[in-house]
Amino acid sequence: MIQSLLHRPVTRRPPTVRFTGRVLFLTEDPELIRRQLAGEDLAWTPEMKLRDDISTDEITPAYVCFYFDETSGISHTSD
């Protein structure tokens, strides 16, 4: 166990969470996604159908896009 973790203060989480910045709602409606990408902020409502078929196994961290080696599984050839 990392010693600093044993001595850090533990506090209760707030009852609500607030996000700063913009949130992209991955809706089933492509038009709603287009509007958000164009700059419109949507207010979430329970009636909004969100996609539920997104695999987090396929999400790639941004740093992978800038660094390649044999562990990335990408083959580079010169033509």
**Stated pTM of the model:** 0.47
For 57-77, how does the pLDDT look when each residue is reduced to its tens digit (9 = 90+)?
Answer: 767 777 766 666 666 555 455
Of the chain, the end-to-end C-alpha distance in Å amounts to 50
Q: What is the pLDDT of residues 13-62, one digit of tens each?
A: 888 888 788 889 999 999 999 999 999 999 989 999 999 887 777 677 77
Distance CA 22, CA 32 (A): 14
Per-residue pLDDT band for 79 (boundaries 50, 70, 90) equals very low
Can you give the C-alpha Rg of the chain in angstroms? 20
Domain-wise residue ranges, the chain: 22-73
